[in-house]
Structures are given as structure tokens and as C-alpha cells.
Structure 1
Amino acid sequence: MTGGRAGGAAVPRRGRDRRARRLPAAPGAARVTGEPPGVAVVGGGIAGLAAATALAERGVRVTLFERAPWLGGRLAGWPVELADGSRATMSRGFHAFFRQYYNLRGLLRRADPTLATLTPLPDYPLWHGSGLRDSFAHVPRTPPLSALGFVALSPSFGWADLARMRVRAALPLLDVRMPEVYERLDGTSAREFLDAIGFPPAAQHLAFEVFSRSFFADPGELSAAELALMFHIYFLGSSEGLLFDVPGEPYPRALWQPLAGYLRGHGVDIRTSAPVAAVRPVAGGGIELLGATGRDERYAAVVLALDAAGLRRLVADSPHLGDEEWRTRIGRLRTAPPFLVSRLWLDRPVAAHRPGFLGTSGLGPLDNVSVLERWEGEAARWAARTRGSVVELHAYAVSPGADRAVQQELLVDRLRRVYPETRDARLIDARHEWHDDCPLFPVGGFRDRPSVRTPDPAVVLAGDHVRTDLPVALMERAATTGFQAANALLERWGVHGQTLWTVPTRGRSTPLRALSRLSGHDLTRPTDH
């Protein structure tokens, strides 16, 4: 591990990959001098917390606004009382903290320098309804052995399947570069891309479809560029591998309460249950926030760290923000179909040999299963006391018109099929969370994706829907753009910002990069393969 100091703030330490790329911020002073500028950060998820951290560490006066009563955004948690009288923490479900998430992990190290709160899971198993099983536990980490090892060890790849694959169509995966990957693949869907390659259907379901659905989208709707980027981040671009860590306690206790304490120690004014109605540029520079606390408040700059739907609404209600072209692009941002998280408190344990996390395919709406007491302290204490289990089920990209009660019943039914010992279990309690606020990265949508900088230098954006020309995705994209938004403002004030880390920004192997150039640009015509 490597570390250091930059501008008085901790540099996110990289993991085991010696080729991880270090991206220093623009040079400048360690902290602001004179009267500190005030910055409003709108949104208390990962992106907003990252922006607030980088700004506050350098002496900026930060006010953080979050419309919900709690921090964390899509990783928030809140108290519930179960039918048996127990107190528990509900959330929107399991998230994997991959070791390639250098900037997110750097953010969390502010309050937990050794990341002691993160617990490694020993495997990332995948099950298909047909009976096929796959695993990443024994796949080599070092590219290209990682991809070759997965193919060699996976039961979903046979010699006949490999012979039928169109190798030329797969060549773009060998040298993924940002942003060129979008120029090459954004006009193709993930499903079309995989079909053009000729991946065995079982492999598509067990591996690539599981990944694509982690974007909460059907592969037919998802840009192939995002799928290729994931392949680079987890397989051929990084030697961190596909194993991951999870918080050992619910999100508020493990992550956000400690980080909130750190931010308050740096003078951040954290306001929860504080929605912002509109943002208005001020003549001569700066912005006003309207309706946040019943009065208008003026700041030197603002970070809009909202989800895609929240950003659309705020921009629509802020008629003087940005220019017409930018506002039109924001208005075209799309959200993914609804997803369902069902958490079940059972009166008996799941069998001890079951994995703590299981990715699934070919099982109707069920996309994964988590047995929470295997890693989360709160769930483990409840399970020990009751001799039961706490099980979480996810369904991604549910049809918007689906009957919610039916989908919830289907998830429980599929659990009983995958883990038969749960068939006789009694539900002590069940909680179901439906949401439809995750970004969609549709075919051809990259040109509309907003970047961190906007037409107004006092207004910057952050979030997992925001464009960045770095190889990051999901939670890591949120953390990275949060730091980039802070850096854009700090650069205006002559202050050195946050150093960033990413996986390599192009393919690792010179021969594979040369081979990739043979693929051309048209990836869907069989005659080209």
C-alpha cells in the first residue's frame, strides 16, 4: 500500500495493483487564505460527502444539504422496529466495495484509516437456474490471466463454445480507453455486443448479464461501452480481482456517522431534512439557494451532488441556471427501471454452507441473495438471539408496470428454490424497498451525459451519472466525481486539490493493445469477424 499527504489531506491509498494510476490535482496552495469562501453541497450521498471532505480539509466553509433525514444517499440506512419488537436498520440493500474503488476507500479512510469496518467476502459465486455454477474465488487476479482463468475454470465455456466465438468482435475488450471506448461502443447495446462475439448463452447469463444488471438495466438497454468499461475495471485493466469487501455493520454505524463526525470536526455544517428548492446565480458571481431553510442563502459556489432525477427537477425549477443547451441535456437524463430489495427475518437459519452473497441468473426476477448475518454485526446479533437468519433479495430492472406484490412473492419463492431449507421457515418480518432513481446509461446516451463542470464556473456536478473521462463506475464514479467537483472549485481559488487514483486508463498489455486495433469500429456485422 502507498500513501502520502497532498494539500494537507490524506491521499487515497491504492491497493495491490502496482500499475494503478496516480492523478495529481492542479498545483496550488495547501489551504485557502484570507476569508474562506462558502460552498453549498446539495446532496449527502457518496458524491456530496466526497466533495464536502475535499473542500473542508482545505479550509473552505462548507454547508451540506440533504433532503432525507439521514446521510448516505442510496447507501443510507434508517431505524425500523420489527414485529418481534427488535430494533433493526433497514437500507436499500447490499453493495460491494471492490478493491479497485480507490477513491471511495480513500474517502472512508478519513474516519477509519485501516478500513477495519470492511469485511472481505471469500467468494463471488454465480448460480444459474439451469444448474450451472461459477465462482471467482480461484480466478487469478493478474491480467490477462484473470480473464483466461475465468474462461478456463468456468463450466459455462466449453471447447466447442470457444471455437464458435468471433474473436475479432471481442478485441475492443483488450484495450479499453477513456473516453474512446464510448466513441467505439456507445452506439451498441451490451446484448448486441455479446451476441456479436458469440459468447455462450450460459456465460452471458452467468457473468456478463450479472454485471450489466448491476447497473440496474437490462443488457438490451445498456450501452456496450459501460459493459466494456466494467470488463476493463474488473478483468483486463486491474489486478485487484473481483472479490470485494462489505461493511461489518449497517451503513450509518459503519460509514456515515463516523464520516459525519470527521466533517463536523472540519467545520462542515451538515443539515439533514433540508431540501433545496432552487439555485439562482447571483449577479457578479456566486449563487443563492432557495427554500433550503425557509430563507435564501448566498454562497460562492455550489456542488450539485444529486441523483439524475433530482438534478433534472432542480434544474427545471432553477430557470436561470446554466445555458439552454446544458439545460436540455440535463432534461434528457434517464433513470433505470425500478428495482426491489426484500429483506426477510426468518425464524430458522440458512444452511451453514450457503455463501454469504450469491449472484443469480435464470431465476426470474431474482438477481442476488445475501445472508446478512454472515458479515453484518447487527444481523448476526439478531440471528444468534433468535436462532434465525436475515436474508436479503434483489431484483433489478423490474418492468415499471409489474405488480409489486407479485414480484415480492416471486422473490421469496425463488429463495425457497435456491435455498430449499427456507421453505419451512416462518417470516418473523419482511420489508420491501422499491426505488427507481438509479441512472440509466442507454445506447447512444454518452453525448448527453453532463460533466463535472457546467456553463457557470460557480456550479459543479457530482454523482454516478456524471461524465468523467476516467475508468470508474458505480460507487467509485460517485466518489471520484465528488472529488473532481471539489478540485474544480479549489483550482479557481488557487488551492491544490485531491489526488486521485484509478485502474490503468488503457489496456495493460502492449501486444493485446496492438491486437485490439484490428477490431475496427463496426462491432455488430458477422461478416467483419
Structure 2
Amino acid sequence: MSRPADVRDRRAEEVRPAPPSGPRPALTPRAAVVGGGIAGLAAACGLAERGVDVTVLEREESLGGRLRGWETELADGSRAAMDRGFHAFFRQYYNLRGLLRRADPGLDSLVPLADYPLVHRDGPRDRFSGLPATPPWNAAVLAATSPSFPLRDLARVNLPAALHLLDVDVPGVYERLDHVSARDLLEAVRFPPTARHLAFEVFTRSFFAAPERLSAAELAVMFHLYFLGSSEGLVFDVPRAPFPEALWEPLARYLGGLGAKVRTSAPVERVGPGADRRFSLPGHGSFDAVVLAADVPGTRSLAAASPDLGDAAWRSGLARLESAPPFLVSRYWLDRPVRPHRPAFLGTAGYPTLDNISVLERYRDAEREWARRTGGSVVELHAYALPGGCDPERERGALWEQAVSVYPELGAAGVVDARHELREDCPLFAPGSYRARPGTATPDPFLVVAGDHVRTGLPVALMERAATSGLLAANALLSRWGLPGHTLWTVPRRGRLAPARALARLTRGAGRPQPGKRPVERRR
């Protein structure tokens, strides 16, 4: 198979589907996809493209899952788009980008964001523009030019421990590192403190968890996916329009053209045995197969309400899935602009809760038009991994105060309107949790699972894990029905540097990090 347009890395790997293993059914198979987020839409496309009769059932009023969007009316009477915040579409998200290309072949809905500074409260600042794309030169130039990697501190780095970041193989890295936290690994490596904050903590918190609650294996895979395992670079794209308009409405039309049915405001309460077909979804009909592509809370709830689904051990495993701590997105429509040099996206470190600041009119057309018309700005703030049971109003105020300390001009701005989203539905990848996470397969060959919480056996994360898992789920069902599956692509499944891998194996015992024994540090 020829390489897709997005796969520029010559070492990217092709993941071929398993050959068809079952007989083709006499009647067209009918599949329900429970969940209309990235994973569910990927599964739906994969099935519908092979002639399966697909119904997507989404409980919310719109598609997109955690990337869904909706309209809101501002205090000035104008209509505006709202969603759950900034998302970066990296160039190595091969399967996600392939999904979007089905409805937007040129990816015209995305615009590049060539640089995104990372700034620490104490002053150090890093940028990713101008770095070589190919490993290991990208890491070498970053270390040589970054103020976060002072030479005197680099001499203290524990090389055997650092080699764990170069010796990544999936799933082997989970066997070696899943039992310890990302914080334990970083402390064992002895990276300079500023480097830990800027080059690692900013990224680890994109998993919606503080480093002490994130598996070190996930950190290593993340480093591999975005940096040392891929030559696609750290440049990413962002949608130029609200998520529904840019991404999900075109994809829904594409699915409709394939004969698939897409139903929103259609919650699935339970799944049981069917009379004329294998599964019954009360209120929605009977189906030969089900793709469970709900978020973690929805998956837990559906498993608890469906005693005939899978088996008891499998349902018990789903019941133990953990959600990450709450996160807050605050979006402000302001009566004056932020300073012209402010970037579209700024990552922050060292603050109590502020993780990044976005200026939406720098890249989104609708916000650019609002800012042009009113002379204002649209600014978005993120706070990941807030304390459980936190006071929303207090967190909003604290987040704004921190943003003013970064962009002082915000203090003089009048707030035309604001919207706040406090959610707690992202998956938690805690130390020691890898084996307990669900895979695509289940005890029932015609029930499959998809989502960014699913084990895929591939070096993927976040939105790319969701898209990849959806296509893997579709492939599993297609094989059962004697139908051809879909080829996937991924960054190399092993570290690119063979000498580093060999050295890591020789020093593995000496450099292995151990779980921390001191109390968890609080951020506040």
C-alpha cells in the first residue's frame, strides 16, 4: 500500500489488518456504535466503508465526544461557539488525520501552528520552532539551545535512567515502567528542574493528571510519539472553525453518504441479548455487533446496567476504570485586545493551576471576526488535574489571577462575557493500571471497545489513540464477517536508535526507577 499523504516519516510503520477469518454473512451485518466521539466515528467509518449497516448513537446533542461544540449567545447579543478547549492535531496523528481526510481530503479545515512557547513562572522559556525534525538531532539541538538545560545540570543526569526514554517498545515498555509514576522516572533521571517543568510536565499534564498520578510508561510512550520516535516534528495544526463545522458535521455527511445513520440525543441505557439479532439496545433496535465507544463514565455505567454484556470478570474490570481529576476550561470574550505579540498558544509551568493560555482569534475565523468587529480578544485558560471536589467559583477566580500575572493587560480588560467548563470524564493512566485497561476484544467476539482509554498495542496517545482504537475495533468485526479491514499507520514501535536501545538493555537494572515512597506533593 502506498503511503498516505500525512505519513512523511520514512520509518513510520504500516499496520496491516488481520485477514478475514469468518464467513461472509448472508444478510448485511448491522452494527451499533455507542458513542459519537473520535473513536466511535472512526469505527463507524471503518465499518460503513465495507458495507456494514451502521447506526451511531450519541447521547449528547452533537458529535465529537470531548471535542464536541455548541452555540451560545453572549451578553452583547452575538452568537459564539463554545467547546471544551484547545486541542493540537499533531502531524504524527496518522490515523486521526486519515479519518478527517475522508470528509476533508485536503485538510483545509486545519491551519498550522508553527510554534508554541513554554514558559515557567520563574522565567525560563522554550520554543519548538527551528528545531530539526529528525531524532536524535531534535533533542540535541533543544538541549544545546534551551535555557531549561543548563550545562552544569546536564552533567548530573542519570544516563541509565534516561535511556528508558530511548528504549521504548510497545507493549514491552509497560512491563518495565508501568508500575512507577512519571514523577519517579523524572526524579530518577535527574533532569534539571526547569527542564522537568517545561519539557516534560507540560506534556504529562496533557493527560489530565499530575506526574505523580501518571504511569511512567505513558510518559515514555509520549516522549517517543512526539519527539524521539518520530521525525514529523513537534509542529501541529488546529481547526480554523468551531469543531462541529470544521470536523464533525462534514464527517456526519460522509457517513450519511455511505448509508450510515447518525443519531444524536440518543443515549444507550443498556445492552442485552436480542431476539432476531445478537444484541438489543432498548429504544434503538437489534444489532449483530456493538462497538462500545463511550467515555470512561459512560462505559462504567453501561457495563453496570447490562448484566448480560461480556462476562462478570470483564464488567468488573470496566467498573474499576478511573477518571482523571477534574479540569477547567475558562473562555473570556474581552473588550480590548491582548498585546499583538502574544502567541496563539502558550504552555505554562510552575503555576498553581494554570497550564496554558490560548488567544483564539490568532487561528479561528469566527473569533477573529468577533475581535475585528468589537476590538476585543477571545482568551481561553486551561487548568488540568484540579483537586477532587474543588470549588468551581474559587478555581475560576484563581485561574484568572494567574493568567493576569502572565499577561498583565488582562487585568485592565473588561469581560464582555465568559463561559466555564469543569469536567471529570477523561481516563486516568495511573501507575500499575495498564494490564487492567480494556483492550479492543471482549469475551464476546461481536462486542468490541474503542476509546482513548483502550490498550491498542501501538505507540499512540490521546486523540490518536481514540482514532486508532476505533479502526482496530472495526477491523476486528470486519474480520469476523469475512470482510477486508483497514491499514493503519503509526510511528515506529521501537526506539529509533539501536545503539541507545542496546546500551539501555545493558544498564537496565542500574537505571530502573522505583516507586516513590514519600507523600504525594500537593500543588496548592
TM-score by length of 1: 0.94
Q: Does the aligned pair in 1 maintain the 2:122–2:350 contact within 8 Å?
A: yes
Cα deviation 1:111-144 (Å, max 9, x = unaligned): 1001111100120210110011011112211011
Tell me how far apart the structure 1 counterparts of residues 69 and 24 of structure 2 sit (CA, whole Å).
34
Measure how far apart 1:281 and its partner are: 3.1
1:262-290: per-residue Cα shift (whole Å, max 9, x none)? 00000111110000010113479721112
What percent identity do the matched residue pairs reach?
61
Whole-angstrom distance in 1 between the partners of 2:192 and 2:514: 18
Task: Give the 3-state SS of the residue equivalent to 1:520 in structure 2.
Answer: helix
| Per-residue deviation, 1:440 | 0.0
Q: Which runs of 5+ in 2 are unaligned?
A: 516-524
Q: Give the counterpart letter for 2:512 in structure 1.
A: L
1:266 to 258, 261, 266: 258
2:314 paired with 1:326: yes
- 3-state SS of the aligned residue for 1:354? coil
5 Å-filtered alignment, 1:273-292, equals 273-282=265-274, 286-292=278-284
Judge conservation of contact 1:44–1:66 (CA < 8 Å) in 2: yes
Contact 1:14 1:20 in 2 (8 A): no
Q: Is the 8 A contact 1:278 1:291 kept in 2?
A: no
* Residue 250 (structure 1) aligns with: 242
Q: 1:380 aligns with which of 359, 368, 389?
A: 368
Partners of 1:114 and 1:455 lie apart in 2 by 40
Aligned-partner Cα distance in 1 for 2:188–2:60: 44
Question: Is contact 1:345-1:430 (8 Å) kept?
Answer: yes
RMSD: 1.7
Is contact 1:141–1:239 with CA below 8 Å preserved after alignment?
A: yes
User: Does the residue aligned with 1:365 lie in a helix, a strand or coil?
Assistant: coil
Q: Does 1:393 align with 2:407?
A: no
Q: Determine helix, strand or coil for the equivalent of 2:448.
A: strand
Asked if residue 81 in structure 1 is aligned to residue 73 in structure 2, the reply is yes
Contact between 2:177 and 2:215, CA under 8 Å: does it hold in 1? yes
Distance 1:175 1:285, change over 3 A: farther
Aligned to 2:325: 337
Within 2, Cα distance between the matches of 1:415 and 1:386? 22
Structure 2 matches for 1:356-505, cutoff 5 A? 356-505=344-493
Q: Deviations over 1:466-491 (max 9, x none)?
A: 11100000000000000000000000
Tell me which residue corresponds to 2:156. 164
Which of residues 204, 211, 215 in structure 1 aligns to 2:203?
A: 211
Shift of 1:512: 1.6
Q: Deviations over 1:48-81 (max 9, x none)?
A: 0000001001100001100000000000000100
Which letter maps to 2:279?
I
Secondary structure of the equivalent of 2:212? coil
Alpha-carbon shift at residue 525 of structure 1 (Å)? 5.8
Alpha-carbon contact 1:172-1:519 (below 8 Å) kept:
no
- Label 1:38 to 1:139 Cα distance change in 2 as closer, same or farther (>3 A): same
Deviation at 1:147, TM superposition (A): 1.5
Separation of aligned partners in 2, 1:525 and 1:188: 6
Report the Cα distance in structure 1 between the residues aligned to 2:343 and 2:514, rounded to whole angstroms. 41
Partner of 2:519: none
Query: 2: distance between equivalents of 1:520 and 1:509?
Result: 16
Q: CA 1:46–1:525 in 2, change beyond 3 Å: closer, same or farther? A: closer
* Separation in structure 2 between the aligned mates of residue 122 and residue 145 of structure 1, nearest angstrom: 18
Q: Which amino acid aligns with 1:38?
A: R
Matched, 1:351 2:339: yes
- Residue 512 of structure 2 corresponds to 523
Contact 2:277 2:287 in 1 (8 A): no
Indicate the residue corresponding to 2:522 in structure 1.
none
Deviation at residue 15 of structure 1 after TM alignment: 2.7
Structure 1: distance between partners of 2:67 and 2:506 = 42
TM-score between both structures, scaled by the size of structure 2: 0.95
Describe the shift of the 1:72–1:525 C-alpha distance in structure 2 as closer, same or farther (beyond 3 A): closer
CA distance in 2, matches of 1:318, 1:63: 19
Q: Quick one: distance in 1 between partners of 2:20 and 2:182? A: 42
Which of 183, 187, 195 is matched with 2:179 structurally? Answer: 187
The alpha-carbon deviation at position 150 of structure 1 amounts to 1.6
